Amino acid sequence: MTGRMLVRHDEDYAAFEDGPDRGRILIFGRDTGGAYGLMEWTAAPSPVSDGPQTYGAHLHSGCEETFLVRKGRLDFLLGDEVVTLGPGDFVRAPPGMRHGYANTSGEPVELLVSFHPGGLEELFLKYRTDGDGAAEGDGFTTDAERMFGSAFDLD
């Protein structure tokens, strides 16, 4: 990777919606030679259920993911352990580690999420649900499985 400086200004981002959640890509993997991607993510409160708590558990064999809570609290699943995270807390999901979260706080939770190597962030834009992408079907899942060795529905 070259030593090229990368500067992003607030107006340079790519915002999107993913159902009730929303985000914006701050750094694309293509801008870092594939080293990493970085996005802001706002997780909406999880729906209340009468059954056991679910976390949207999944894994990526070909990608590490990190999460830094900026505002709010959420329950984070890492492997088989659930921890409550608040502002300033950080968690790393190494490749192949089952992970997910549930926002049971009743308020939106703001996070910084990184992908190592970068590229997975591109799928959030490609399959966005706010009318500017192909949100129908299971394209996100299919592409993530193919490109990053992801597996979903692991609750």
Please give the Cα distance from 32 to 83 (Å, whole number). Answer: 31
Question: pLDDT tens-digit profile of 48-90?
Answer: 888 889 999 999 999 999 999 999 999 999 999 999 999 999 9
Instruction: Identify the helix (H) or strand (E) that includes residue 42.
Output: strand 37-43
Task: Set out the domains of the chain in order of their start, with CATH numbers.
Answer: 10-151 (2.60.120.10)
pTM of the shown model = 0.90
88-95 average pLDDT score:
98
More confident residue, 10 or 94: 94
The residues facing 10 across adjacent strands are none
Question: pLDDT tens-digit profile of 107-144?
Answer: 999 999 999 999 999 999 898 888 655 555 578 999 99
- Which one, of 20, 23, 24, lies nearest residue 9 by Cα? 24
> So what's the pLDDT on residue 92?
98
Does residue 2 have a pLDDT over 80? no
